[in-house]
Amino acid sequence: MEAALLELKGVTKRFGGVAALNGVDISVTRGEILGMIGPNGAGKTTLLNCISGVYKPDAGEIRWQGMPIQGMRPHRVAKLGIGRTFQIVKPFGSMTVRENAAVGALFGSAETSLSVKQSFEQADRVLDLVGLRSKAGSLVTALTIPDRKRLEVARAVATQPKLLLLDEVMAGLNSVEVDEALEMVRAVHATGVTVVLIEHVMRVIVGVCTRAVVLDFGHVLAEGEPRVVLRDERVIQAYLGERYAKRLNADRGPDGE
């Protein structure tokens, strides 16, 4: 079996007396799209924050291609090829869409730093990929919610990550917009990027993920093939609820909305 691209062992993060993560073991294989689900407060965002260097875990190990990276500063983690979005989007409001994407390229993981010209070229490629080319000259403040989410992905993709961590980039989108966002994730993945995505929309998890991990109270509750995981009794109890299970049993297929 191929060695893991990213491996977490016993990762624990406490806030005061609360263990947001409590001994989490997860490995991410090159080329997969791993879906991360679980109730509010389960520790999903905290996990991304530990991986991307925003938080230093209190215990455990995070290995990137075999190298321990826990406690490394965020800009160094980004340089290694781990890109991320934020659940609360943080674009530079006074800049255009194209400029925002170019900033990602300028501070990205490229071996040799890109020039400003190269960064704008990279920004244009990424805006094409996420379907934002026509808005390149718009100010961020003029964007709709789905376009802001696309821009958040564009900024992360522009850093040329090997692994992309997406935190609820489809929250608040309508069903057509979710379909478009799914296409965007597929397009980015097709360029060779491994993806970990956090989502509450089950249609996304079954639609695009090759594997799913369920977090609950800072623990891994279940993991495996998405459709199998969503039928797991413990996952239904802790997260999805009986109403969802009944719908599943009625065999109308999961849509999670």
Ligand X SMILES: Nc1ncnc2c1ncn2[C@@H]1O[C@H](COP(=O)(O)OP(=O)(O)OP(=O)(O)O)[C@@H](O)[C@H]1O
**Contact footprint for ligand X (CB under 6 A):** 15, 18, 20, 38, 40-46, 87
Closest to Mg ion by CB, 29 or 87: 87
Binds 20, which of ligand X, Mg ion, none (CB < 5 to 8 A, cut-off by type)? ligand X
State how far the Cα of 173 lies from the Cα of 181, in Å rounded to an integer.
9
Closest to ligand X by CB, 103 or 220: 220
Site residues for Mg ion, window 85-124 (CB under 5 A)? 87
State how far the Cα of 177 lies from the Cα of 180, in Å rounded to an integer.
5
Nearest to 100 by CA among 169, 161, 168, 151: 151
Binds 42, which of ligand X, Mg ion, none (CB < 5 to 8 A, cut-off by type)? ligand X
Site residues for Mg ion, window 21-80 (CB under 5 A)? 44-45
Provide the minimum distance between the beta carbon of 256 and ligand X in the complex, in angstroms, as a whole number. Answer: 14
Closest to ligand X by CB, 39 or 131: 39
CB 115 within 8 A of CB 143: no
CB 94 within 8 A of CB 139: yes
State how far the Cα of 82 lies from the Cα of 13, in Å rounded to an integer.
20
Q: Answer yes or no whether residue 160 interacts with Mg ion by CB under 5 A.
A: no
Residue 84 CA: distances (Å) to CA of 45, 199, 226: 11, 14, 22
State how far the Cα of 199 lies from the Cα of 192, in Å rounded to an integer.
21
Binds 15, which of Mg ion, ligand X, none (CB < 5 to 8 A, cut-off by type)? ligand X
Provide the minimum distance between the beta carbon of 200 and ligand X in the complex, in angstroms, as a whole number. Answer: 7
Binds 41, which of Mg ion, ligand X, none (CB < 5 to 8 A, cut-off by type)? ligand X
Binds 43, which of Mg ion, ligand X, none (CB < 5 to 8 A, cut-off by type)? ligand X
State how far the Cα of 256 lies from the Cα of 105, in Å rounded to an integer.
35
Closest to ligand X by CB, 46 or 100: 46
Angle at 169 between CA 97 and CA 172, to 5 degrees: 100
Closest to ligand X by CB, 40 or 112: 40
